[in-house]
């Protein structure tokens, strides 16, 4: 396994649970890249999910999450921060309200929990909302949950070790070792070779660089900046999401505001312009946050995929190599289904979901 973010850890976890011996190699410290930086909310009901493969994938993972967290809890006392907090998605125009109501209708028909609230109901539920905010109503998703990514990663890493996975940090993989077109292992930057009949590439925003054959996946970094605030009393219970910014209340009087989407290459520095954008958004949604203490800010690199689906499966031209990357904005949510699907593929078991839409080479095929 190459990469110790949530995706590499999840695939290692499920492989080990199925009895496969796994060594996980992480270039730096475990879980310190995109996975650590994430807001950590878990939802499959947003506007980007129409009926189709993405909805099926995100819904399957969402439905697995609570059970997975419970299973992790049986292996380690470490807390994941899992919390079913609910989410209020606020419509700020007539067009957004119409789309939201249409979505509520088909989602209710499909049996998903969702409720439409008119503007007056939204304002009485969330009295702190900015007076200038053009609230046209909101969708309430009571089942939406969140984890605290740094805690989730600590707990998952511990559970993965307990399952018998060997985890090596400060172990940068420099390349794939092969005989003909078959993988036989990897070589570390220091020259050490590690033999393995199967190599899974879960290297996040760096995945396309691992071997020439991996370049068929156009994964690139998409920066996200978050600001963390501390408040005397929580300004809202639910997650508040709108086109003017998203606010993620935590259980310990912390509130995360974010995240930006910045196409700026591998820059992970927190820039003043990004912080200004987030601060303006937070104050427009909840003006009382003006008294909040700034507790911190950070940025991470989401592994972007060209069609908002991850690349999961065998790497063409390199037998024994698999990819598990490109989870873009949903890698925390998609971790368990990714672990299950990769395990099924590697053990040649029937897949839980159709794999074709997730195929590694689909970007090249769609270009014709």
Ligand X SMILES: Cc1cc2nc3c(=O)[nH]c(=O)nc-3n(C[C@H](O)[C@H](O)[C@H](O)COP(=O)(O)OP(=O)(O)OC[C@H]3O[C@@H](n4cnc5c(N)ncnc54)[C@H](O)[C@@H]3O)c2cc1C
Task: Please choose, from the candidates 198, 155, 202, the residue with its C-alpha nearest in 3D space to the C-alpha of residue 331.
Answer: 202
- Shortest spacing between CB 53 and ligand X, in angstroms: 17
Please, what is the end-to-end C-alpha distance for the chain in angstroms?
Answer: 31
Rounded CA separation 171/260 (Å)? 31
- Shortest spacing between CB 171 and ligand X, in angstroms: 6
Task: Please choose, from the candidates 120, 154, 162, 112, the residue with its C-alpha nearest in 3D space to the C-alpha of residue 138.
Answer: 120
- Shortest spacing between CB 104 and ligand X, in angstroms: 22
Residue 286 or 323: the one with the smaller Cβ distance to ligand X is: 323
Q: Is 51 exposed, middle or buried (0-12, 13-18, 19+ CB in 10 A)?
A: exposed
Residue 3 or 137: the one with the smaller Cβ distance to ligand X is: 3
The helix or strand, by DSSP H or E, that contains position 160, with its residue range, turns out to be helix 149-162
Helix, strand, coil in percent for the chain, rounding step 5? 35, 25, 40
- Shortest spacing between CB 264 and ligand X, in angstroms: 12
Helices assigned H by DSSP within 81-137: 94-109, 119-125
- Shortest spacing between CB 302 and ligand X, in angstroms: 4
Instruction: Give, as one character, the DSSP assignment of residue 140.
Output: E
- Shortest spacing between CB 231 and ligand X, in angstroms: 20
Residue 133 or 334: the one with the smaller Cβ distance to ligand X is: 334
Q: How far is CA 36 from CA 5, 87, 292, in A?
A: 8, 22, 23
Rounded CA separation 50/330 (Å)? 15
Binding residues vs ligand X (CB under 6 A)? 2-8, 25-28, 33-35, 37-41, 172-173, 202-206, 210, 224, 226, 258-259, 300, 302-303, 325, 327-333
Residue 135 or 156: the one with the smaller Cβ distance to ligand X is: 156
Residue 7 or 88: the one with the smaller Cβ distance to ligand X is: 7
Residue 137 or 204: the one with the smaller Cβ distance to ligand X is: 204
């Amino acid at each position: 396994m190459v990469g110790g973010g949530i995706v590499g850890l999840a695939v290692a976890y499920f492989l080990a649970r199925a009895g496969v011996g796994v060594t996980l190699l992480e270039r730096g410290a475990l879980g310190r890249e995109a996975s650590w930086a994430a807001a950590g909310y878990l939802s499959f009901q947003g506007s980007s999910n129409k009926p189709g493969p993405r909805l099926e994938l995100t819904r399957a993972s969402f439905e697995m999450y609570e059970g997975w967290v419970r299973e992790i809890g049986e292996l380690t006392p470490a807390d994941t921060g899992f919390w079913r907090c609910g989410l209020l998605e606020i419509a700020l125009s007539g067009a957004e309200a119409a789309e939201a109501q249409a979505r509520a209708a088909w989602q209710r028909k499909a049996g998903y929990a969702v409720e439409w609230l008119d503007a007056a109901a939204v304002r009485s539920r969330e009295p702190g909302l900015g007076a200038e905010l053009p609230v046209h109503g909101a969708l309430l998703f009571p089942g939406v949950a969140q984890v605290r990514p740094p805690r989730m990663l600590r707990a998952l890493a511990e559970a993965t070790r307990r399952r018998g996975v060997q985890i090596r940090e400060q172990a940068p993989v420099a390349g794939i070792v092969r005989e003909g077109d078959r993988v036989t292992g990897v070589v570390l930057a220091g020259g050490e070779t590690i033999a393995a009949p199967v190599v899974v590439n879960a290297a996040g925003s760096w995945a396309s660089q691992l071997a020439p054959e991996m370049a068929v996946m156009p994964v690139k970094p998409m920066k996200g900046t978050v600001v963390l605030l501390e408040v005397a009393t929580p300004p809202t219970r639910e997650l508040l999401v709108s086109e003017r910014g998203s606010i993620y209340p935590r259980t310990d009087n912390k509130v995360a505001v974010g995240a930006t989407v910045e196409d700026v290459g591998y820059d992970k520095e927190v820039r003043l312009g990004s912080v200004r954008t987030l601060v303006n958004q937070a104050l427009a949604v909840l003006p009382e946050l003006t008294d909040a203490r700034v507790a911190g800010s950070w940025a991470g690199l989401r592994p972007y995929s060209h069609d908002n689906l991850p690349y999961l499966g065998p790497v063409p031209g390199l037998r024994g190599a698999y990819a598990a990357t490109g989870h873009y904005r949903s890698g925390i949510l998609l971790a368990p289904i990714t672990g299950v699907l990769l395990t099924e593929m590697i053990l040649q078991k029937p897949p839980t979901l159709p794999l074709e839409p997730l195929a590694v080479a689909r970007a090249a095929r769609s270009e014709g």
